[in-house]
Amino acid sequence: MDKIKFGTDGWRAIISDDFTFDNVRIVAQAISDYLKDTYKKGKIRIIVGYDSRFMSEKYAEVVAKNMVANGISAILTDRPSPTPSVSYAIKDKRLNGGVMITASHNPPYYNGIKYKAFYSGSADPSIISKIEKRLYKRTPKRIATSVFLKSKLYSCENVLPRYLKYVSAYLNWRVLKQKGFKVLVDDMHGCAGTYIEDLLKKTKNKVKTIRSERDAYFGGVNPEPIAKNVQMSIEMVKKGAFDVGLVTDGDVDRIGIIAPGGNLLTGHKVLTLLLLHLFEDRKMAGEVVQTICGTKLIDKVCEKYGLKMHETPVGFKYICDLMRTRDILMGGEEAGGVGFKNYIPERDGILSGLLILEMMAHRKKSLTKILEDIEKEYGSFNYKKIGIRYPDRLKPRLVKTLEANPPEKIMGKKVVKIESYDGVKMLLDDGSWLLLRLSGTEPILRIYSEASSDSTALKMLEAGKRIAFNI
Tell me the average pLDDT of the chain.
95
Q: Transcribe 17-68 into DSSP letters.
A: TTB-HHHHHHHHHHHHHHHHHH--SS--EEEEEE-SSTTHHHHHHHHHHHHH
What element of type H or E holds 241? Answer: none
Q: Kindly report, residue by residue over 42-51, the tens digit of the pLDDT.
A: 899 999 999 9
pLDDT of 469 > 80? The answer is yes
Q: Mean pLDDT throughout 230-254? A: 97
CATH number at residue 437: 3.30.310.50
Give residue 168's pLDDT. Answer: 98
pLDDT of 443 > 80? The answer is no
Does 6 fall in a domain?
no
Residue ranges making up the domain that contains 290: 171-378
Give residue 346's pLDDT. Answer: 97
Give residue 442's pLDDT. Answer: 67
Q: Mean pLDDT throughout 202-211? A: 96
What is the spatial distance between Cα 167 and Cα 87, in angstroms, rounded to a whole number? 13
Q: Mean pLDDT throughout 158-187? A: 97
Q: Kindly report, residue by residue over 291-345, the tens digit of the pLDDT.
A: 999 999 999 999 999 999 999 999 999 999 999 999 999 999 999 999 999 999 9
Together in a domain, 210 and 250: yes
Give residue 179's pLDDT. Answer: 87
Give residue 440's pLDDT. Answer: 67
Together in a domain, 233 and 361: yes
pLDDT classification of 2: cutoffs 50, 70, 90: low
Together in a domain, 229 and 135: no
Q: Which residues are CB-contacts of 286 (< 8 A; sequence separation ≥ 6)? A: 307, 327, 328, 329, 330, 341
Q: Which residues are CB-contacts of 358 (< 8 A; sequence separation ≥ 6)? A: 171, 172, 175, 176, 277, 281
Give residue 7's pLDDT. Answer: 81
Burial (Cβ within 10 Å: 0-12, 13-18, ≥19) of residue 325: exposed
Give residue 378's pLDDT. Answer: 95
Together in a domain, 373 and 387: no
Together in a domain, 244 and 349: yes
pLDDT of 452 > 80? The answer is yes
Q: For residue 120, which phi and psi values (nearest 5 degrees)?
A: 70, 30
Among residues 259, 435, 253, 446, which one has the least CA distance to residue 344? 253
Q: For residue 52, which phi and psi values (nearest 5 degrees)?
A: -95, 15
Among residues 8, 4, 5, which one has the least CA distance to residue 423? 8
Percent of the chain with pLDDT over 90: 93
Report CA 424 to chain centroid distance, whole Å.
22
- At residue 256, what is the residue type? G
> Among residues 378, 411, 439, which one ends one of the domains?
378
Does 5 fall in a domain?
no
Q: For residue 428, which phi and psi values (nearest 5 degrees)?
A: -105, 165
pLDDT classification of 180: cutoffs 50, 70, 90: very high
Does 4 fall in a domain?
no
Together in a domain, 181 and 330: yes
Together in a domain, 91 and 213: no
Q: Kindly report, residue by residue over 362-401, the tens digit of the pLDDT.
A: 999 999 999 999 999 999 999 999 999 998 888 989 999 9
Together in a domain, 433 and 390: yes
Q: Mean pLDDT throughout 54-83? A: 98
Percent of the chain with pLDDT over 70: 99
pLDDT of 441 > 80? The answer is no
Together in a domain, 353 and 218: yes
Does 367 fall in a domain?
yes
Together in a domain, 327 and 295: yes
Q: Count of domains in the chain?
A: 3
> Among residues 363, 378, 393, which one ends one of the domains?
378
Q: For residue 112, which phi and psi values (nearest 5 degrees)?
A: -165, 180
What is the spatial distance between Cα 119 and Cα 121, in angstroms, rounded to a whole number? 6
Q: Kindly report, residue by residue over 388-439, the tens digit of the pLDDT.
A: 999 888 898 999 999 999 999 999 999 999 999 999 999 999 999 999 999 8
Q: Mean pLDDT throughout 218-234? A: 95
Give residue 42's pLDDT. Answer: 86
Give residue 341's pLDDT. Answer: 98
> Among residues 355, 378, 401, which one ends one of the domains?
378
pLDDT of 1 > 60? The answer is no
Together in a domain, 178 and 245: yes
CATH number at residue 102: 3.40.120.10
Together in a domain, 285 and 353: yes
